[in-house]
Amino acid sequence: MITDNTSLKLEKVFRNAQDFLPLLGTDYVELYVGNAKQAAYYYMNAWGFKPVAYAGLETGSKDRVSYVLEQGKIRLVLTSPLQQDGPINAHINAHGDGVKVVAIWVDDATYSWEQTTQRGAVSNMEPVVLKDKDGEVVISAIHTYGETLHYFIERKNYNGVFLPGYQDWKTDFETTGAGLLFIDHMVGNVGWNEMNTWVDFYAKVMGFTQLVSFDDKDISTEYTALMSKVMANGNGRIKFPINEPAEGRKKSQIEEYINFYNGAGVQHIAVATDNIIDTVKRLKAGGVEFLYVPPSYYDDVLDRVGQIDEDLAPLKELGILIDRDDEGYLLQLFTKPVLDRPTMFFEIIQRKGAQSFGKGNFKALFESIEREQERRGTL
């Protein structure tokens, strides 16, 4: 006879067998940038991030400088080289500013590295223990699409400000925040015919499952098209949609990205808020630029999505998009690229039940992106 207790245990064993790579959440996102000091000022001043930690010449780091910023559970690390001809220089030369590391918070960085490399991940760094007076952190790393890396960060025995080697970063700069809470999802752009390779990677190597997919019929305008599949880990805290270009009459935004980034990379970081109107007002006041949404979008949007809690007027004024699925609705909007090259941007998202990604907005959105591409001469 299987008692309740036994079935509970069986369920646990089954779950462990399924989720061989338990992930606690996103630990941090590191960008390699040309001038970390000034990038940090942008994220503090425009986005309301709080200065947290610093590593550079003063802390014994001879080849690089890094600034660590936080808002809610979102942690950004901005890193620039201090010398010539190093790997960070080469990365910036090839890609411009961009995401180098998507670090994942785990309970056991050694086990995570073993499980993923056994399943075919290419190792970037075997597990290492970093120590200072505040304890120790175990870090390991594997490669994902393009030159992007996943770090596994085990910090249960660490009480310091970020990682060993970093010190408190004290400034007089006052940041008020913008109500950003956590990373909802992070999207990778990959090249032609590469989407399924990377979908398989996340399924086989990291134990993710596919949530939804869109093909070029879902996501196309008169000119451009793309395909997308969304991969999520076992507890759903980490969601990585993967895009690839599809044939259209003109060059798609994914192709534009691949051309300027020189390959696959992180396209956008979606950050969650529980008051999108307030958040977007603050970001706009800070100088963050958003994609233009034509006022006509709002003429019939409520016919499509039904009743919502918010007044339409502020959504229209701020260009916030609305979409609905079986479970509820969501509010979202997208910044223009936040770097010099037309590559990475941010999405601001507020979920009110909906667990999808705004498929109903793709057409309006892409037409807006195409207007920007037209201005850049890259359509």
Q: Which residues bind Fe ion (CB under 5 A)?
A: 270, 347
d(CA 24, CA 304): 36
Residue closer to Fe ion (CB basis): 92 or 180: 180
The answer to whether 362 and 214 have CB atoms below 8 angstroms apart is: yes
Determine the 3-state secondary structure of 132 from DSSP: strand
Q: How far are the Cα atoms of 97, 173, 244, 342, 371 from residue 376, in angstroms, in the given order? A: 19, 35, 21, 9, 9
Residue 375 in tokens? 């201005």
CB of 363 to Fe ion, least distance (A): 15
d(CA 69, CA 144): 24
CB of 79 to Fe ion, least distance (A): 25
Residue closer to Fe ion (CB basis): 81 or 358: 358
User: Who contacts 216 (Cβ-Cβ below 8 Å, separation ≥6)?
Assistant: 225, 226, 227, 246, 247, 248
CB of 276 to Fe ion, least distance (A): 14
d(CA 24, CA 101): 17
Residue closer to Fe ion (CB basis): 127 or 358: 358
Residue closer to Fe ion (CB basis): 256 or 347: 347
Sheet of 50-55, strands arranged across: 123-132, 135-143, 149-154, 98-105, 25-32, 74-81, 64-71, 50-55, 167-168
CB of 347 to Fe ion, least distance (A): 4
CB of 76 to Fe ion, least distance (A): 18
CB of 349 to Fe ion, least distance (A): 7
Residue closer to Fe ion (CB basis): 101 or 348: 348
Residue closer to Fe ion (CB basis): 74 or 109: 74
CB of 7 to Fe ion, least distance (A): 38
Q: How many CB atoms lie within 10 A of CB 328?
A: 13
Residue closer to Fe ion (CB basis): 155 or 239: 239
Q: Name which of 241, 149, 233, 153 is nearest 195 in CA terms.
A: 241
